[in-house]
Amino acid sequence: MKLRYSEAFYSVQGEGLHVGIPSVFLRTFGCNFRCQNFGLNRDREKSRYNPEVEELIKAGVHETTKRFEDLPIIHTGCDTYASIYPEFRHLVHDRTIDEVVDHLLSLTPNGCWTQDDGQDIHLILTGGEPLLAWQRLYIELFEHPKMKDLKNVTFETNTTQMLHTDFKQYLRNNQRLQVTFSCSPKLSVSGESWEDAILPSVASDYASVVGSRMYFKFVVADRIDIEEAVHAVEEYASAGIKPPIYLMPMGGRSEEYDLNIQEVANICLEKGWRFSPRLHISLFGNAWGT
């Protein structure tokens, strides 16, 4: 089995618990969600595509664009649309684990995860949804002889996928890796349903990996999102899951949304929750590979 991924790049972690840490991002291909309504009316009826993606496909952009990184950036819906829609599959990599490892190491300073002064580069598995079927390849990836100095791994997940039995056992037994679950459950602003998106049993599954870290990150644009985040936090808490909570303003220009970034920060302060910036966008703009 080969790993299918749309891009790998070296950048600064811009969100959540590890903001500012130099990290290699591996963006796997495929997602069980579409999140097509971000930035649109939350009551918009779902269709096969987000309207911007539909325009791109109608214009044949998926056929005429030769490289993933040359695809246009869109401003509504899932911001990594080309990692989720099958129409873009031919633009992504299908690589063996040996090849993936060489690609990842080519991105790190000095071709290694831990530098001579002890500083380590994090590996971020993102997507798409990185905990789909790719889980079966991660043991091989993490145990590869060239990956022995890797210390920190984060899964950026929508928190809908249970861990496979073998992989969970591996993570529980592993003494080397600090594993972090960066959980971003989707609220109704995404267009996904509550029943599909808020799954405390899945968060409990991740929490059962002793020694791992977990935090929740909710993307918010208005008061309804805040109410839903409160409700979701209650549901998770009633299942015994009480990790740090982050609110992150929706991408795009904050003046387009009901809550600007200062208001989101003030709500965090009121509730004792944490504020997540999108540091990579402030630093590098909204682009692939950042």
User: Taking the complex as a whole, how short is the minimal distance between the CB of residue 191 and ligand SF4, in angstroms?
Assistant: 9
CB 281 → ligand SF4: shortest distance, Å?
A: 15
Select 123 or 250, whichever has its Cβ closest to ligand SF4: 250
Show the beta-strand stretches assigned E in the chain: 3-12, 22-28, 93-95, 122-126, 152-157, 178-183, 213-220, 245-249, 274-275
The least CB distance from residue 56 to ligand SF4, in Å, is 15
Q: How far is the CB of 26 from ligand SF4 (least distance, A)?
A: 14
Per the listing, tokens 């899964």 go with 155
**Around 34, how many Cα atoms within 13 Å sit in the side-chain half-sphere?**
15
Which residues inside 17-36 make contact with ligand SF4, applying CB under 6 A? 31, 33-35
Q: Binding segment for ligand SF4 among 16-24, 50-58, 61-69, 76-84 (CB under 6 A)? A: 76-84
Nearest C-alpha neighbor of 6 from the set 69, 55, 77: 69
Least Cβ distance, residue 43 to ligand SF4 (angstroms): 18
Identify which range of 3-11, 78-86, 245-253, 273-281 contacts ligand SF4 by CB under 6 A: 78-86
Q: Which residues pair with 274 in a beta bridge?
A: 246
Task: Single out the residue of 17, 53, 82, 84 in contact with ligand SF4 (rule: CB under 6 A).
Answer: 84
> Which residue carries 């009121």 as its tokens?
270
Q: Kindly tell me which residue out of 80, 108, 180, 276 binds ligand SF4, with binding defined by CB under 6 A.
A: 80
Q: How far is CA 99 from CA 9, 65, 103, 169, 289, in A?
A: 15, 24, 6, 26, 19
**Residue 245 found at the interface with ligand SF4 (CB under 6 A):** no
Quick one: tokens of 197? Answer: 């998106």
H-run or E-run covering 53: helix 51-58
The count of C-alpha atoms lying within 13 angstroms of the C-alpha of 222, restricted to the half-sphere facing its C-beta, is: 12
User: Do residues 175 and 148 make contact, with C-beta atoms less than 8 angstroms apart?
Assistant: no
Least distance (Å) from ligand SF4 to the CB of residue 9?
16
Site for ligand SF4 in 172-201 (CB under 6 A): 186
Instruction: Identify which of residues 191 and 243 has a Cβ nearer to ligand SF4 in the complex.
Output: 191
d(CA 116, CA 118): 5
What string marks each residue from 90 to 129 as x (binds ligand SF4 by CB under 6 A) or -? Answer: -------------------------------------xxx
| Residue among 14 and 127 whose Cβ is closer to ligand SF4 | 127
User: Taking the complex as a whole, how short is the minimal distance between the CB of residue 120 and ligand SF4, in angstroms?
Assistant: 26
Nearest to 216 by CA among 258, 136, 271, 170: 271
Does the footprint of ligand SF4 cover residue 249 (CB under 6 A)? no
Q: Does 158 bind ligand SF4 (CB under 6 A)?
A: yes
Q: State the helix-helix crossing angle for 135-142 and 165-173, rounded to 10 degrees.
A: 30
Pick the closer one to ligand SF4 by CB: 33 or 216: 33
Residues 12 and 20 sit within 8 Å (Cβ to Cβ): yes
Binding interface with ligand SF4 (CB under 6 A):
31, 33-35, 78, 80, 84, 127-129, 158, 186
